[in-house]
């Protein structure tokens, strides 16, 4: 369905509603009816009844996170329908700047990044959209969704602050993104009802109010002063103080077992009235390399969900369907703990797109509050592809001359990935040992980011690892031999101090 057509359909729907109102008041004024009808499409905050108003009627959302960049676009509609079947009326997505602008001024909104198609699909399925444009998103993604090249443009850039270089690129990015999504705001006929400013900014402890305020103002400039903006943090006084700005809803992120009443009281310290919203409610949990999959109790998830829904709050499950970190886009938590390729998140809909037992339990709780639209979906049939045989072709080091595009760069000291415009993946560092060594010698690489495979004359000697805090290796290497380190970037830090993200 074309965009124009879907907009027209909305006008017709609201023309009908408009007519019933207008019949009582404005008999016969055809054109005025249309104007009146468009105006009825509103999404606002009722500070008396502490609830959202959708087209003037009390409304609360029950939403689930679904990130378009983590699900192949041919499955978007299927996943959304399964969300709707569980009783959800909305979805929530982040926008990942680093994917849409892989290099400065080069934009990509196609394939898995076809945001317009994603928003249209949500609307077709009948889900509203909670929109989280960042620019920083965390999301367990490389550098929290910020483009790696920010660190190349200015070596000491102060990310997530009012740093002029950072803000110059943020404003340029928003001047591209926001006009694209403007037609999809609820007031303009689309599904987007609320928009987040930054992401859990109070938790990081930077407390740059000018930064938060400029982001809010940029959103207002492009989307209008009448859109509902919100911010979110763990329900903690210190966090809420640290990103406390006017004109945004204060919302909370928490998991099962939280004292919901207390969490909402903390929100009320900063926002006396308005709807209560849980922006991230965790019906599962993330994974890290080397850890067993998270095992959160489904009963506890359901009990706390019941507490949230019985308080008339709006809620978003983070994640309802996690999906996959395709390519090299996973991030890492500090310590250093990189995220794996899977973002299953033990979410209600599995990485394969199937409803899980957790999905069924959660939909039972939701059905206490809203009727479910129909029968629950079944797992999809699976293809049996049989065993796969892998054949030896070449070692990586031998294959380097045949790989597409690698440049050889000579420098006195090793350069970072960012300095060499290598966004992700691997880099090979080689040097000839110029001095007489001890036997064994100790190779010490304390600044390694993140995993180094060590070779002497192409003979594999061992692995250094930032996550295992192993930064030195005894080895035998003689003068005039070639020492090589294949460095793997395992994902830039996505939360806390993301300034320490350069790779080498
Ligand atoms: C845009 O992104 C899509 C999805 O990730 C990718 O398949 C495509 O190659 C990209 N296009 C360009 C021009 O880089
Ligand atoms: C998860 O926890 C439950 C209850 O604590 C336990 O019965 C179950 O075996 C655990 N599952 C896994 C995969 O560890
Ligand atoms: C929830 O909303 C209903 C209907 O408006 C109201 O009767 C009830 O008191 C509200 N509950 C709470 C906890 O605010």
Domains of the chain: 15-366 (3.20.20.80), 392-488 (2.60.120.260)
Distance CA 179, CA 120 (A): 16
17, 55 Cβ separation under 8 angstroms: yes
pTM: 0.91
* Closest Cα to atom 10 of ligand 3: 312
* Closest Cα to atom 8 of ligand 3: 312
Average pLDDT, integer, range 10-22: 34
468 is known as an active-site residue: no
Phi then psi for 463, rounded to 5 degrees? Answer: -125, 135
Ligand 1 and 108: CB distance under 6 A: yes
Q: Relative to the CA of 312, which ligand 3 atom is closest?
A: 1
Pocket perturbation via mutation, ligand 1, pick of 76, 110, 324 by most ligand atoms within 8 A of CB: 110
CA of 299 to the centre of ligand 2 (A): 12
Ligand 1 and 113: CB distance under 6 A: yes
Phi-psi region of 162 (alpha: psi -120 to 50; beta: other; left: phi over 0): alpha
Q: What is the pLDDT of residues 299-338, one digit of tens each?
A: 999 999 999 999 999 999 999 999 999 999 999 998 899 9
Contacts of 42 by beta carbon, 8 Å cutoff, 6+ apart: 53, 54, 55, 56, 186, 187
Q: Which ligand is nearest to the CA of 109?
A: 1
Ligand 1 and 112: CB distance under 6 A: yes
Q: Which ligand is nearest to the CA of 312?
A: 3
Give 26's pLDDT tier (boundaries 50, 70, 90): very low
Distance CA 297, CA 358 (A): 9
Please provide the DSSP assignment of 247-303 as one string: TSEEEEEEETT--HHHHHHHHHHH-SSS--EEEEEESS----TTSPPP---HHHHHH
Residue 335 structure tokens: 């310590």
Q: 112, 198, 200, 488: which one is catalytic?
A: 200
Q: Which ligand is nearest to the CA of 107?
A: 1
Residue 38 is predicted with a pLDDT of 52
Distance CA 24, CA 20 (A): 7
Q: What is the pLDDT of residues 414-467, one digit of tens each?
A: 999 999 999 999 999 999 999 999 999 999 999 999 999 999 999 999 999 999
Find the distance separating the first CA and the last CA of the chain, reported in whole Å.
Answer: 47
Please provide the DSSP assignment of 56-104 as one string: TEEE--EEEEE-GGGS-GGGHHHHHHHHHHTT--EEEEE--HHHH-SBT
Closest CA relative to residue 141, chosen from 205, 199, 200, 96:
96
Distance CA 35, CA 32 (A): 5
Q: Relative to the CA of 69, which ligand 1 atom is closest?
A: 5
Scan for tokens 């320490």, then name that residue. 500
* Closest Cα to atom 3 of ligand 3: 312
Q: What is the pLDDT of residues 172-225, one digit of tens each?
A: 999 999 999 999 999 999 999 999 999 999 999 999 999 999 999 999 999 999
Least confident of 5-19, 266-280, 360-374: 5-19
Q: 280, 351, 418, 488: which one is catalytic?
A: 280
Residue 184 is predicted with a pLDDT of 98
CA of 304 to the centre of ligand 2 (A): 19
Pocket perturbation via mutation, ligand 3, pick of 58, 312, 368 by most ligand atoms within 8 A of CB: 312
Residue 501 is predicted with a pLDDT of 72
Q: Pocket residues for ligand 3 (CB within 6 Å)?
A: 311-312
Distance CA 486, CA 465 (A): 12
Q: Which ligand is nearest to the CA of 307?
A: 3
Q: Relative to the CA of 49, which ligand 3 atom is closest?
A: 5
CB count in 10 Å sphere of residue 438:
9
CA dihedral 197, 202, 203, 207 (to 10 degrees): 120
Q: How far is CA 499 from CA 158, 209, 334, 466, in A?
A: 7, 19, 11, 16
280 is known as an active-site residue: yes
Scan for tokens 């993140």, then name that residue. 450
């Amino acid at each position: 369905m074309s965009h124009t057509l879907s907009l027209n359909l909305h006008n017709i729907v609201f023309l009908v509603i408009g007519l019933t109102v207008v019949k009582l008041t404005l008999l016969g004024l055809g054109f005025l009816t249309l104007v009146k009808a468009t105006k009825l499409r509103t999404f606002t905050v009722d500070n008396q009844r502490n609830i959202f108003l959708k087209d003037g009627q009390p409304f609360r959302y029950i939403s689930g996170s679904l990130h378009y960049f983590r699900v192949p676009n041919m499955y978007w509609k299927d996943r959304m329908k399964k969300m709707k079947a569980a009783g959800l009326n909305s979805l929530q997505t982040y926008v990942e700047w680093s994917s849409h602008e892989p290099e400065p001024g080069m934009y990509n909104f196609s394939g898995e990044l076809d945001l317009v198609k994603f928003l249209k699909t949500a609307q077709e399925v009948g889900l509203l959209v909670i929109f989280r444009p960042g620019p920083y998103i965390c999301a367990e993604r490389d550098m929290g969704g910020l483009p790696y090249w920010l660190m190349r443009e200015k070596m000491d850039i102060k990310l997530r602050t009012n740093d002029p270089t950072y803000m110059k690129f943020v404003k340029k990015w928003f001047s591209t993104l926001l006009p694209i999504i403007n037609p999809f705001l609820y007031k303009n006929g689309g599904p987007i009802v609320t928009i987040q400013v930054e992401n859990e900014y109070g938790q990081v402890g930077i407390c740059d109010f000018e930064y938060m305020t400029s982001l809010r103002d940029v959103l207002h400039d492009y989307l209008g002063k009448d859109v509902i903006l919100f911010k979110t943090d763990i329900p903690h006084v210190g966090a809420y103080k640290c990103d406390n700005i006017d004109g945004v809803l204060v919302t909370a992120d928490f998991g099962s077992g939280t004292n919901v009443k207390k969490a909402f009281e903390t929100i009320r310290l900063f926002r006396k009235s308005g709807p209560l919203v849980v922006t991230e409610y965790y019906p599962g949990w993330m994974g890290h390399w080397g850890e067993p999959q998270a095992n959160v109790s489904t009963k506890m998830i359901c009990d706390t969900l019941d507490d949230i829904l019985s308080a008339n709050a709006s809620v978003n499950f983070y994640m309802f369907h996690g999906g996959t970190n395709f390519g090299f886009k996973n991030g890492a938590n500090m310590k250093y703990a990189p995220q794996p390729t899977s973002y299953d998140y033990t979410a209600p809909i599995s990485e394969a797109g199937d409803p899980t037992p957790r999905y069924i339990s959660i939909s039972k709780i939701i059905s206490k509050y809203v009727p479910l639209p129909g029968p629950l979906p079944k797992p999809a049939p699976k293809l049996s592809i049989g065993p796969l045989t892998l054949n030896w072709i070449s070692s990586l080091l031998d294959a380097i001359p045949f790989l597409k595009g690698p440049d050889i760069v000579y420098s006195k000291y090793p350069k970072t990935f960012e300095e060499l415009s290598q966004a992700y993946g691997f880099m090979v560092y080689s040097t000839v040992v110029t001095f007489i060594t001890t036997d064994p010698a100790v190779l010490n690489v304390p600044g390694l980011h993140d995993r180094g495979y060590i070779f002497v004359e192409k003979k594999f000697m061992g692995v250094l690892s930032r996550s295992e805090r192993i930064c030195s290796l005894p080895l035998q290497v003689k003068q005039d031999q070639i020492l090589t380190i294949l460095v793997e970037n395992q994902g830039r830090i996505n939360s806390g101090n993301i300034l320490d993200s350069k790779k080498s």
